[in-house]
Structure 1
Amino acid sequence: MIFISKYIVPKGFNGITLFPFIFLIDKNLKQDLILIHHVIHHEKIHLQQQKEMLIIFFYLFYGLEWFIKLLKYKTKHSAYVNTSFEREAYQNENNINYLKTRKPWAFLNYL
């Protein structure tokens, strides 16, 4: 399910996934069909990651990995884009068939 909420989506982002929901920052985003396609596909990849890790372990692993990457890269944004979950989602958000061919635990290839 997709919802619009400027309060839930962090500043500087177009969307966020909190299983089982996808939140988008702005209803006007829906009018940019190319951007909305990429954002929703990116978030659907996160939904799959969350299901694989039984949701709670996704958030625990994500937080731990983000903190380790923060120590390495020194900035919040660099830590964020270098987590395995984000790397997988960003690198495959343009591939419409990715979720059909994606192997379980594929994010581990992006560590």
Structure 2
Amino acid sequence: MILISTRLLKNTKISGITLFPFILLKNRSDLHNKILVNHEKIHLRQQAELLVIFFYVWYVMEYYFLLFKLKDSFLAYKSISFEREAYAMENDLNYLETRKFWSFWKYILK
């Protein structure tokens, strides 16, 4: 389910965030942004594959490992395997139809 949450995302640079089972978008106009919505749907699939809680644990651990290694918060975020897969495949609107189980694995530390 996609929700508009201007208040929650108001003072952030975030356009959208996935908190299973919801996709929260900052602006109503982003409902028509197929690439952003696809990016967030990829995160929904990742979260479901890892039974949600393990996704968040892995995400946070990978982020802090990369932050320590790279010493740059934005670069650490962009280097997280889940984000790398989502950014790499967000333009392929049919990706989720052919995506294999745990496809994020091939994006880990490469």
- Asked if Structure 1 and Structure 2 have the same fold, meaning a TM-score greater than 0.5 normalized by the shorter chain, the answer is yes
Q: Which runs of 5+ in 1 are unaligned?
A: none
1:25-56 C-alpha deviation (Å, 9 max, x unpaired) = 111334xx4xx101100000000000000000
Amino acid at match of 1:26: N
**Equivalent position amino acid for 1:19 in 2:** F
Does the 8 Å CA contact 2:4/2:27 hold for their aligned counterparts? yes
Superimposed CA distance per residue, residues 58-92 of structure 1 (whole angstroms, 9 cap, x where no aligned partner): 00000000000101121211111100000000000
Structure 2 unaligned segments of length 5 or more: list them. Answer: none
TM-score by length of 2: 0.92
One-letter amino acid of the structure 1 residue matched with residue 72 of structure 2: T
How many residue pairs align between the two structures? 107
Query: 1-side partners of 2:56 and 2:12: how far apart?
Result: 19
TM-score by length of 1: 0.91
Cα RMSD (Å): 1.2
Q: Identical aligned pairs, as a percentage?
A: 49
CA distance in 2, matches of 1:88, 1:48: 11
The range that moved more, 50-59 or 19-28, is 19-28
Q: Which residue of 2 aligns with 1:47?
A: 44
Report what 2:13 is aligned to: 12
> Which of 81, 97, 105 is residue 100 of structure 1 equivalent to?
97
Mapped to 1, the partners of 2:7 and 2:73 lie a distance apart of 20
